[in-house]
Structure 1
Amino acid sequence: MFSNLAIDVALGLIFIFLLYSLLASIVQEMIARLFNARARILTKGLRRLLEDNDHSGALGIFGRFTFFNWFYEMGWSIVYFFSPFHKSAFLKKFYHSPSIKYLGENSASARPAYISPQIFSQTMVHLLRGQATENQPEKAAISECLAHNTLQLGPDTLAHLRNLFEDAQEDVPQFRKNMETWFNETMTRASGWYRRQTQVWLLILGMGIAAVFNVDSIAIARILMKDKSAREQMVQLVTSREPSFAAMTDTLLQKNVMHRDSAYFRHDTSFQVLMKDTALIGIYGILRQDAGDAQSVLGISRSCVTDSTGGKKRTHCGFTHPYQQNGWMVLAGWIITSLAISLGAPFWFDLLGRVVKFRTAPPQR
């Protein structure tokens, strides 16, 4: 068995990053469910798809700078959070269509988190054809709607739908396929928006978790390098917990909690049910216990001392470990931890598997 100091230290650090990345991912998923984040990203994608961006040029020359655009878009995100159909008459009509309206889980989550391309194209055809009759078949009804813009679509959206209808040579089945391709391309970008949003949340949560649990990467590395007993116990902890972390990470990935793959692309037409809230809480409890075990091995903790000076009780809290006497170094360790957590649990789990495999590989002769 091949083992040395550097590999064991790396193994311990990777395990810590994986443990707290999983913890941050569970918390992030709870927040996403609380605010119905997937449905909001889907609505954003459909807004970009079906509504012209009337306020795109409001910044003027400042719109060329990313700094101003970021704050501007942030402001509109707040507006859309409270009013998702703000100045979006057609988008509201789209969501109120029976084929979309009843996909929501309940009244609290009225908007669905997933719409298949087939449902999208079907709903669009239903809206465009209106009340088609025998005297005016579906093809003619759609053609007339696009010609007279009876749905009051924005000029860019209307022009694109006309082009898709022309490309299909006014064949309705082909027109539906063209719209499904258009939908898939936009949802690919929407999935990227959600991944970036998730990464930002993981970075924010990572800093909070690092501070609350005192996950100081610099101090942990120094402890693992200097303390042989702590290093050996950490390796044993990694060995005992790796199988359960493998199942946990795989389950989270399959249920799209980690969002490694698009949350909108499915072969079926209905959104697969995610993990139940009780399962998330159960995993959270297991991870909290593992975090406590890791802290016990490393010996990193805070202590609070209450003293009475001048008749007044005062409580002073600080770090007990000698490697955490420099506050700036502790802050740097927390920042490193938060950056590591933002990479996501799948990254650290794959890396952990590689290091374990390398560590247990027989020496080369």
Structure 2
Amino acid sequence: MTGSTTLDVVLGLVFVYLLYSLLTTILQEAIANVLSFRAKFLQKAIIRMLEDENAKTADTLLNRIGAFFRVIFRKNVTSQSLPLTEAFYNHPLIKYLAEDDYKNKPSYLTSRNFSQAMLDLLKGNDFAAGDDPGKFIKTALESGVTQWKNNGKPVQINEETLSYLRALWADAQGDAAKFRTALEEWFDVTMERTTGWYKKHTQGVLLILGFLIAMVFNVDTIKLAGALSKNPELREQVIRQADNYIKTHKDQFNAKENLPKDTTLQGLQKRADSLLKTDIADVNKALGIGWKCTSVKEHENKCFHGKDVCIRSHLRIDTIIGWLITAFALSLGAPFWFDLLNKLMKLRGTINSGKDDGKETNSAKPAPTNIKG
């Protein structure tokens, strides 16, 4: 293949990856909403902060795999074995931030929410207007027990967390306002780490969903690359679709969040339906993506096949490899492919513009004149 042909093939693949990675991202976000992934990761971070001794470390591959699936299937609850965390989530300021009884933990907290709840737990139910907060906080930290009563009982603070809170109190020189600021900084640092945990988890979910989508729709990268490399008209058709898509969907992504803008279940469903019925349907038709039988007469009565599904026509050893390549590509996320598609289309435009300029220059040259001596 020439350099231009290679670029066009890559452009075609990137466009396919963009459309299907967007579908993958939509499905991942829908699952995250239904299973409260964000609330679970926030809870994991709070447990890490308040129950250091009880936080389980995924120190082996099997433990990490187990931790991955526990986040997916674990109920969003705390237990008696995590008393300070339970008291934290039972605080009215935190408790009523949850969406409803089904999603009984909030998905987001501000540092101010965290510090206020922690100060209330330390100061206790008896703290009143005009009282010195430092006195109540100091008593709680010295005794190792919250002054706030959860279910009628004070809460024991585990030793590691207590040591850290005492250190923050010492650094604040017994000033309640500075102590609040230190609590908020602690929360912000932990949330930065939590964002990293969530991104890794999302990458794993996207990889699994990517493989399932590649298999269900039969998006075989090897087959697609072969078809594009052999058919110039097909390449041009797909590139025209890609160019039109870029022009009409510039504001489609919120790159910062790596998600479509409307993340409600209704909005995600509407976007998925539109994507499947328009852009994906068009590119599938052009490239022949799917399971339709390619040799109806030859396969009749010889294998399982129908009008829309034929295993024999498509399933080979290299097909699975093609699915795996597709799955990895889809796990990179739609914003990555949208940005890359933009850059490649600009590069292609520059190359084609250079070729056109060269043709004009050559045509402008005067014809050589034969001079006889």
TM-score band by shorter chain is 0.7 to 0.9
Look up the match of 2:264: 276
Q: Distance in 2 between matches of 1:329 and 1:134?
A: 73
Structure 1 219/308 Cα, relative in aligned 2: closer, same or farther at 3 Å? closer
Query: What is the CA RMSD across the aligned residues, in angstroms?
Result: 2.8
- Pairing 1:224–2:225 present: no
Q: Is the 8 A contact 2:76 2:105 kept in 1?
A: no
1:112 to 92, 106, 117: 106
Bigger Cα displacement from structure 2, 85-94 vs 7-16: 85-94
Bigger Cα displacement from structure 2, 3-12 vs 184-193: 3-12
Alignment map for 1:245-256 (pairs within 5 Å): 245-250=249-254, 253=255, 256=257
Q: Distance in 1 between matches of 2:83 and 2:15?
A: 50
Number of paired residues?
Answer: 335
SS in 2 for 1:81: coil
Q: Is the 8 A contact 1:303 1:320 kept in 2?
A: no
Q: Is the 8 A contact 2:221 2:323 kept in 1?
A: yes
Q: Is the 8 A contact 1:210 1:216 kept in 2?
A: yes
SS in 2 for 1:4: helix
Alignment map for 1:320-339 (pairs within 5 Å): 324=314, 327-339=316-328
Q: Distance in 1 between matches of 2:290 and 2:305?
A: 16
Q: Distance in 1 between matches of 2:15 and 2:70?
A: 40
- Pairing 1:318–2:322 present: no
Structure 1 79/137 Cα, relative in aligned 2: closer, same or farther at 3 Å? farther
Structure 1 202/72 Cα, relative in aligned 2: closer, same or farther at 3 Å? closer
Alignment map for 1:89-128 (pairs within 5 Å): 89-128=83-122
Look up the match of 2:274: 286
Q: Is the 8 A contact 1:80 1:86 kept in 2?
A: no
Alignment map for 1:110-149 (pairs within 5 Å): 110-130=104-124, 131-133=126-128, 137-149=132-144
Q: Distance in 1 between matches of 2:199 and 2:206?
A: 10
- The percentage of aligned residue pairs carrying the same residue is 35
Q: Is the 8 A contact 2:47 2:55 kept in 1?
A: no
Structure 1 118/353 Cα, relative in aligned 2: closer, same or farther at 3 Å? same
2:343 alignment partner AA: R
1:202 to 187, 202, 206: 206
TM-score by length of 2: 0.82
Look up the match of 2:349: 360
Structure 1 98/337 Cα, relative in aligned 2: closer, same or farther at 3 Å? same
Look up the match of 1:33: 33
Q: Distance in 1 between matches of 2:191 and 2:198?
A: 10
1:182 alignment partner AA: W
Cα distance, 1:277 vs structure 2: 2.2
Alignment map for 1:169-208 (pairs within 5 Å): 169-208=173-212
Bigger Cα displacement from structure 2, 285-294 vs 168-177: 285-294
Look up the match of 1:267: none
Structure 1 86/19 Cα, relative in aligned 2: closer, same or farther at 3 Å? farther
Look up the match of 1:258: 259
- Highest Rg: 1 or 2? 2
Look up the match of 1:12: 12
Structure 1 85/187 Cα, relative in aligned 2: closer, same or farther at 3 Å? farther
1:43-85: CA deviation from partner (whole Å, max 9, x where unpaired)? 000000111233759xxxxx8x623532564686589536433
- Pairing 1:67–2:61 present: yes
Q: Is the 8 A contact 2:258 2:334 kept in 1?
A: no
1:236-263: CA deviation from partner (whole Å, max 9, x where unpaired)? 110111134432223xx46x3639xxxx
TM-score by length of 1: 0.84
SS in 2 for 1:109: coil
Structure 1 336/236 Cα, relative in aligned 2: closer, same or farther at 3 Å? same
Instruction: Name which structure has the greater RCO, CA cutoff 8 Å, separation 6+.
Output: 1
Q: Is the 8 A contact 1:51 1:154 kept in 2?
A: yes
Q: Is the 8 A contact 2:305 2:311 kept in 1?
A: no
Structure 1 205/349 Cα, relative in aligned 2: closer, same or farther at 3 Å? same
1:87 to 81, 91, 103: 81
Q: Distance in 1 between matches of 2:262 and 2:287?
A: 35
Look up the match of 1:262: none
Structure 1 210/86 Cα, relative in aligned 2: closer, same or farther at 3 Å? farther
